[in-house]
Structure 1
Amino acid sequence: MTSAVSEKLGKFLDSANVRYRRLEWAATDAVARLKWSSRRRLVVTVASTTFAIVLALAGLTVAYVTLADLIHPLPYAMEKTAPPLSTRRLAARAQNETLGFGGIAYLSMPYRSDRQDAIELLGSVYGLNFTYIPGVDGAAITDKAKPLHHYWLRPQELGCWRAHVDAWRYLLESDFETLLVLEDDVDFDANIHDIFELLSTQMQRNRLRTTPQTQHERRTAPYGLDWDVLYVGQCSDRSNENRLDLVHIYQDPNVPSRHETFDHFVGQLQSLGIQGRNLGKVRAIAPAWSPVCTMGYAITRKGAERLILDLSYRGITAAIDIDIIRKLQQGIIRGYSITPPLFSAWRVDGAKDSDNQGLENDQTQLGSGNRNGYSHSMKTSARKQMVKLLDLHNWDDVDRVIPRRPFPTMTAEQEAEEAEEVRKAQIEQKEIDEAWIKRKLEMAQIMEQWGG
């Protein structure tokens, strides 16, 4: 009887344990379902909120773009019609080795062979032909050759003046109608040919001209001839505040972004009515008024004549870029400025950035070198792009194109022949060494006898 009771009790406990386990599993499953449902609701909530935020931002962006066009319209509507075929053909000359000018000259002190190397390398990579015009040591100019009022200039400024006048004389002595003059530390955009071709189409349709385009210009002058100087590489600039209405604006896919553009040029563009999202998309052609530096400019034959007359024949009153600014503001010469400019200075942050600084004993003043050099107001730096274009990984190319092949194995007979040749060579070398030692001993004995 005891065993029967025990058996029934055991079955009851087993049944109770099974029920408990089922209840436990059911509770666990319910909790899991509850957690998953909450998690799913949380995910849906986050997704819907994110989607709403994205829609709101998109709406704000569209509203900003729409309002930006309404709040900051361009001073006038840019010409949308395609230029005629004759204009495009003439502009295509910018694809040649002189960018459509009669020539390209660069000024460099004779001792700056490092900069001359860089300019000639850039010319070779980008299909440009540069003519070297030596810089001048102002202290070496004889007093009789110095211009009137030269005492206002430091020797470095006097030498700079002389080198630029030499460039103008080079134009007059040639058969060119125009000359692009650069200093030896310039950088430019890697798409320079396309940039100047687009500039040519705009200069041919220039709304700022005071005289109609001549037949000669239509046939032979990609940038026209109604100017004396065309600034394409100024350090900073500002426009005539009394004639801010004089501006020719055009879109350029290679213009630097607003962030990449030097603040001076952003301010000038804004003063000309270019605001908001138009910054970083367009360039402006305006009458030259206050372009600082002579880093990059083009000059016509008539411009060279006028500049030599006013900055040499009649004397000079300041550094050459400042004196040209005076002539521009006085209306003695006529010019245009392109903003943002098409050339910029290449900087390495050291004494090598200027020929007016001495190195003395601290060689750290040389700066970081071209490896870490930089320029501003350029979308695609030609100097940086040049390094990528010339970059080579020859052995990686070989491994990629020509798979590695196992060395051919030698037969036992070939291995024996090679071993025999090695053995003979070792014996021969040993005989040579022994003969040399014997000869040195004989010579020592002879010397000893002579010494005695």
Structure 2
Amino acid sequence: MTINNDFGTSYIPTTLKKLSQISSQERLYGNTYTGRSSPAEINRVANDTLGFSEIFVVGLPERSDKRDALVLSAALTGFHVEWVDGVEGETIPDKAVPFGINRYSVTESNLGSWRGHMNAIRRIVEEDLESALIMEDDMDRDVRLRSQLEEIAKGSRMLLNSASSPSSPYGDGWDILWIGHCGEPFPEYLDENKNKPGDRPGIQYMKRRYAIEDNITVPPPDRTTGMIDFHAHPYTRFVHICAAPICSFAYALSQSGAQKVLFDLSVDHLTGAFDNALAGLCRRSVSSVGEENPDNDRGLDTKCISVTPPVFFHHKAKGFVSGDSDIHETASGDVREKGTTENIMWSARNNIYDMIMDGEMESQF
């Protein structure tokens, strides 16, 4: 199986071993899981930083409830995180607000969120890290995350025609690997691309996808949320060229990717809320592939890979509904009796007790 290097063909491969064919005796979660992939270097995604140099979690220090839950669920599913304190927008002086943004056109909480993410991204550059995964502090995922990441790594390597021995298990050449978001279309369906001729090199590039079929970690189509037709591709997860995801739940940056984001979302300018600005960078890049842009704006040629449906999603914890978000305030006094997470089958957050007690995992759907 190969992908045409000149982007002349659309290629939709499937994994050699469908996830539905995995033996029930294969335990795909827990600290003892070390991977099952070939080539063997892909199994580095099962280490305690999920195949990245570091994992950074951005969150306000006073939200000790979120830190307790994330640290515990991460330990039980086999990875370690470093914390980056979130920022209150009111503490950012006007002089530090980037060119192009009017602080009064965004909420102070959005401005603080942007700065918290930028502080994590700056650490990648400062510490000369090869890569880092950055996530928000209320993230949930399937307890089988590391086995999911093996398939994602295979897809990323194929999409980018990675060398046979890349330095990263996810392959070389990517800048942003967006694995947690609220949804996105495929890039050829963006307004600026949908009327381009199908034989254009850029369109062929956008249509590249790696399909993980019969995937037991994907919910039923009517319980999967996003912006594509999941009924047309039931129980399938795609690794694909990124369009413009909504929400910055979890994303990885390479060193080159961190440099591009630090420049485009801080040093040079800022256009809006962090997740929209990051999506805009990927959108400008993918839409310029194979095109002559008179403005010479190619989104810094940022190589963005995405996963749909995502493998990280915002967890709505049991307790007061008002505690869900530190960006969007609500005065509701409603209480949620059981936590819930969209798009996740065996929720790590909801299976903490069962992992501690070595019990059977509970499915959400």
* TM-score range for the pair, normalised by the shorter chain length: 0.7 to 0.9
Note the C-alpha offset of 1:381. Answer: 0.7
What's the counterpart of residue 234 of structure 2?
279
How far apart in 2 are the matches of 1:191 and 1:312? 35
Structure 1 pair 80–355 and aligned structure 2 pair: CA distance change class (3 A): closer
How far apart in 1 are the matches of 2:156 and 2:50? 14
Whether 1:309 aligns to 2:263 is: yes
Note the C-alpha offset of 1:359. Answer: 6.5
Trace 1:1-12 onto structure 2 (pairs within 5 A). Answer: none
1:203-262, Cα deviation, whole Å (9 max, x unpaired): 22x1x32xx4346xx242101132211111101211221446322212344222223311
Structure 1 pair 258–359 and aligned structure 2 pair: CA distance change class (3 A): closer
Trace 1:422-441 onto structure 2 (pairs within 5 A). Answer: none
What's the counterpart of residue 169 of structure 1?
122
Question: Among 88, 91, 95, which residue is 2:42 paired with?
Answer: 91
What's the counterpart of residue 238 of structure 1?
185
How far apart in 2 are the matches of 1:254 and 1:324? 27
Question: Among 206, 209, 213, which residue is 1:247 paired with?
Answer: 209
Does the residue aligned with 1:196 lie in a helix, a strand or coil?
Answer: helix
- Is the contact made by 1:265 and 1:339 (CA closer than 8 Å) also made in structure 2? no
Whether 1:340 aligns to 2:291 is: no
Task: Letter of the 1:245 partner, please give it.
Answer: K
Structure 1 pair 77–292 and aligned structure 2 pair: CA distance change class (3 A): closer
Say which one has the larger Rg.
Answer: 1
Structure 1 pair 260–81 and aligned structure 2 pair: CA distance change class (3 A): closer
How far apart in 2 are the matches of 1:220 and 1:318? 34
Question: Among 14, 25, 28, which residue is 1:78 paired with?
Answer: 14
Does the residue aligned with 2:351 lie in a helix, a strand or coil?
Answer: helix
Structure 1 pair 246–112 and aligned structure 2 pair: CA distance change class (3 A): same
- Is the contact made by 2:151 and 2:212 (CA closer than 8 Å) also made in structure 1? no
Task: Letter of the 2:154 partner, please give it.
Answer: T
Note the C-alpha offset of 1:357. Answer: 4.7
What's the counterpart of residue 220 of structure 1?
167
Question: Among 249, 253, 257, which residue is 2:220 paired with?
Answer: 257
What's the counterpart of residue 413 of structure 1?
none
Note the C-alpha offset of 1:286. Answer: 1.6
What's the counterpart of residue 138 of structure 1?
89
Structure 1 pair 194–350 and aligned structure 2 pair: CA distance change class (3 A): same
- Is the contact made by 1:180 and 1:296 (CA closer than 8 Å) also made in structure 2? yes
- Is the contact made by 2:15 and 2:151 (CA closer than 8 Å) also made in structure 1? no
- Is the contact made by 2:44 and 2:169 (CA closer than 8 Å) also made in structure 1? yes
Task: Letter of the 2:134 partner, please give it.
Answer: V
Number of matched pairs: 298
Structure 1 pair 194–179 and aligned structure 2 pair: CA distance change class (3 A): same
What's the counterpart of residue 291 of structure 1?
245
Whether 1:387 aligns to 2:358 is: no
Note the C-alpha offset of 1:358. Answer: 4.8
Structure 1 pair 357–79 and aligned structure 2 pair: CA distance change class (3 A): closer
- Is the contact made by 2:129 and 2:255 (CA closer than 8 Å) also made in structure 1? yes
More strand by share: 2
What's the counterpart of residue 321 of structure 2?
350
Task: Letter of the 1:308 partner, please give it.
Answer: L
Does the residue aligned with 2:251 lie in a helix, a strand or coil?
Answer: strand
What's the counterpart of residue 184 of structure 1?
137
Structure 1 pair 289–266 and aligned structure 2 pair: CA distance change class (3 A): closer
Task: Letter of the 1:138 partner, please give it.
Answer: G
- Is the contact made by 1:265 and 1:340 (CA closer than 8 Å) also made in structure 2? no
1:171-194, Cα deviation, whole Å (9 max, x unpaired): 112242111111011110011111
Greater RCO structure (CA 8 Å; 6+ sep): 2
- Is the contact made by 1:105 and 1:132 (CA closer than 8 Å) also made in structure 2? yes
